[in-house]
Chains A and B, each alone.
Chain A
């Protein structure tokens, strides 16, 4: 069975600090996909990134960066120079290949990030 663990329930930082959100996953599949979503107070989950298990190249998008390490089954998310607008709940999610579980997207429990001015 697949599982996603986000051990940090809440993180509070001061604006302009860098912050890393941890995500550890479990899967028996060799082909899988990892995602990060942001849920601001308005409620809508916003898709941030998808990674497949064959691509361990780290990615940077503006102030956001993602570190995928298969050896430790981790897919961590770093926000550089955080801003108040980054305050939200962030979810890491895992999807296995179609052949094993179809479309099931397993979410972690989320990390509430609060960025204080």
Chain B
């Protein structure tokens, strides 16, 4: 595998379910990110991890819980979501947090909350 991979690619869940999104990067990067992309809205940065430490949390509701067990893996744990949480969730990684480095994105998980 190369680049950034995400699983599952599609997920349908009820509001009372608990599920997790997984991201893995094979680029040797030190920073990882979760973004939310809703229809008709710009990409929203949710969380930033640098060397497995969460360094940014952009006022994301607690029903989204990230986890970064090592520099190659990133999870987003979901529970009691709302229909407005339906979106494309994108994972990205970069060499480190500095703005000079481009981010590489995974294919995303298309989440539908029913």
Interface residues of A (CB under 8 A from B): 32-33, 35, 37, 42-47, 50, 52, 91, 95-98, 101-105, 107-110
CB proximity to A under 8 Å, residues B44-58: 45, 48, 50, 55-56
* Total inter-chain residue pairs, C-beta < 8 Å: 64
- Are A32 and B107 interface neighbours, CB within 8 A? no
- Are B107 and A44 interface neighbours, CB within 8 A? yes
The bracket for how many chain B residues form the interface is: 20 to 34
- Roughly how many angstroms separate A47 CA and B33 CA in the complex, as a whole number? 15
Residue of chain B at shortest CB distance from A108: B42
B80 within 8 A of partner (CB): no
Per-residue interface assignment for chain B, residues 88 to 114, with 1 indicating a CB less than 8 Å from any chain A CB and 0 otherwise: 101010100111101111111010000
Given A103-B48, A107-B43, A109-B42, are A47 and B102 also a contact pair (CB < 8 Å)?
yes
Residue of chain B at shortest CB distance from A96: B99
- Are B100 and A95 interface neighbours, CB within 8 A? yes
B21 within 8 A of partner (CB): no
B31 within 8 A of partner (CB): yes
* Closest 5 pairs (CB-CB, A-B): A95-B99, A45-B105, A103-B97, A44-B107, A98-B98
Closest chain B CB from A51 CB (angstroms): 11
| In-complex Cβ contact of A33 among B99, B104, B106, B107 (8 A) | B99
- Are B99 and A97 interface neighbours, CB within 8 A? yes
Closest chain B CB from A40 CB (angstroms): 10
- Are A50 and B42 interface neighbours, CB within 8 A? no
- Roughly how many angstroms separate A32 CA and B100 CA in the complex, as a whole number? 8
Closest chain B CB from A19 CB (angstroms): 22
- Are B31 and A103 interface neighbours, CB within 8 A? yes
Name the A residues within 8 Å of B43 (CB-CB).
Answer: 91, 107
Name the A residues within 8 Å of B108 (CB-CB).
Answer: 43-44
Name the B residues within 8 Å of A102 (CB-CB).
Answer: 48, 55-56, 97-99
**What are 17 A-B pairs at a CB distance below 8 A?**
A33-B99, A33-B100, A37-B105, A42-B107, A43-B90, A43-B107, A44-B107, A45-B92, A50-B100, A95-B99, A98-B99, A102-B99, A103-B50, A103-B98, A105-B99, A105-B103, A108-B42
